[in-house]
Structure 1
Amino acid sequence: MSRIVRLTTDDVLHDGDHTLLRLGEPPTPVPEPLAGLLRAYLEDRPNMTTAASPASRWLFRGRRAGQPVDPGSIRDLPQEIGVPAQSGRTAAIRQLVLQMPPVAAQGLGYHHTSTTKIAAEAGSP
C-alpha cells in the first residue's frame, strides 16, 4: 500500500481504448472492469473541494495538503469491501512467476526462493 498511495494522476495513462498504470517501465495495462473503475474514480476523486485539493496530483489525496493518503488509512479497505487481500496477492504473484523467470520478481521485493517455490506449486518448471 505504501507504493500505491504514492501514485499520481499522471501515473494513469490512456492509450486509445486502453488504460495503463505506471507502476514501472513499461506501464502496466489495466484490465476491465478495473480500468473503468479507475477512470470513473479519476473523474470524481473524493475530498477535492478544499482550497489545497483542486491542484493535487495525488491519486489518493491525504487529509494534509500536498500529501498522499496514509497507507494505514487504506490498508484495510480492500478487506472491508470484500476483496480477500492475501488470496489476491498470492494469485497475482503466482501469475507473475508463471509469466516470467522467478528472479525477475526480485524487482518487486520477492525473494527468488519464494518465487521458485510458488512457480513449482503452480506447475511451472
Structure 2
Amino acid sequence: MAALGRLLTDADAPMRLRVAGVIVLLYAQPLTRIVQLTIDDVLHHGETTLLRLREPASPVPAPVTALLLAYIADRDNMNTATNQASRWLFPGRRAGRPARPDHLSALLSKIGIPAAAARGAAVRQQLLELPAPVVADAIGYHDKTTSRLLRENGGTWSRYAVGDHTRSPASWAPDPLADG
C-alpha cells in the first residue's frame, strides 16, 4: 500500500499524523478509538512491540515500531503546563483530554489520508488475506460485519470453519504408523 510506505518514510509530514495514519491503515481502527489510546497501550519489551487495541494486543511490525517509539519520545502538545504528564498517545490541546477525532481526521485528509476510506480499504485488504472471523476478532469488528464485507468483495473464505482450531476432535488420534 503506497500510503503506508509514504507515512513510514515522509519526514516532512508531522510525526503525530504519520503514526495515526499508520494505525488506521494497518489495524483498521476508527479515529474515535485511536485517540483513546494511551502510551500504556504500547507494550515494548526487547525486540517485541505490541499495540493494545483489544486483548490480545496486536504485534507491531519493525518499521512501525521505530516510528511509534520515536513519536512517543517526542509527542506533540506536551510542553504546556496542562499536558506535561499526559498519558494519551495523542494528547489534545485541552488538559487531560485526547485529541479530537474530527480534528485528527481533517489533518490526516490534508496529508492525503482520508481516514474513513483508508480504514475501509484496510479492512478489505485484511479480508483478502485472512478469514473474516479472524479479522473480526483481531480488529474488534462483529463477525457478521466482516463476513458481509467479504461477500461484497467476492472473498474466498466462505468455507472457513469458525471455532477453536488448537484442539483435536475427540475421536481423532494420530496414526502411529505415519512418518512424522
Under a length normalisation based on structure 2, what TM-score does the superposition of the two structures give? 0.59
Q: 1:19 aligns to what SS in structure 2? A: strand
Question: Is residue 92 from structure 1 mapped to residue 125 from structure 2 by the alignment?
Answer: no
Q: 1:37 aligns to what SS in structure 2? A: helix
> 1:2 and 1:38 mapped to 2: Cα distance?
19
Under a length normalisation based on structure 1, what TM-score does the superposition of the two structures give? 0.80
The 3 A distance-change label for structure 1 pair 80 and 110 is: farther
1:104 Cα shift? 6.6
Question: Is residue 25 from structure 1 mapped to residue 55 from structure 2 by the alignment?
Answer: yes
Q: Please, which moves more after superposition, 4-13 or 100-109?
A: 100-109
The 3 A distance-change label for structure 1 pair 7 and 83 is: same
Equivalent position of 2:102 in the other structure: 72
Structure 2: segments with no counterpart, 5+ residues: 1-30, 159-180
1:110 Cα shift? 4.7
The 3 A distance-change label for structure 1 pair 3 and 105 is: same
The 3 A distance-change label for structure 1 pair 86 and 4 is: closer
1:47 Cα shift? 1.6
> 2:84 and 2:142 mapped to 1: Cα distance?
37
Question: Please, which of 91, 105, 112 is the counterpart of residue 136 of structure 2?
Answer: 105
Q: Note the aligned Cα RMSD (angstroms).
A: 2.5
> 2:100 and 2:115 mapped to 1: Cα distance?
18
Structure 1: segments with no counterpart, 5+ residues: none
Aligned-pair identity in percent equals 48
Q: Please, which moves more after superposition, 65-74 or 85-94?
A: 85-94
1:74 Cα shift? 0.1
Count of aligned pairs between the two proteins: 124
1:53 Cα shift? 1.4
Equivalent position of 1:8 in the other structure: 38
Q: 1:124 aligns to what SS in structure 2? A: coil
1:37 Cα shift? 1.1
Q: 1:79 aligns to what SS in structure 2? A: helix
> 1:31 and 1:80 mapped to 2: Cα distance?
26
1:29 Cα shift? 0.8
Equivalent position of 2:156 in the other structure: 123
Q: 2:49 aligns to what SS in structure 1? A: strand
**Larger Rg over CA atoms:** 2
> 1:109 and 1:85 mapped to 2: Cα distance?
17
Contact 1:13/1:21 (CA < 8 Å) preserved in 2? yes
1:58 Cα shift? 0.7
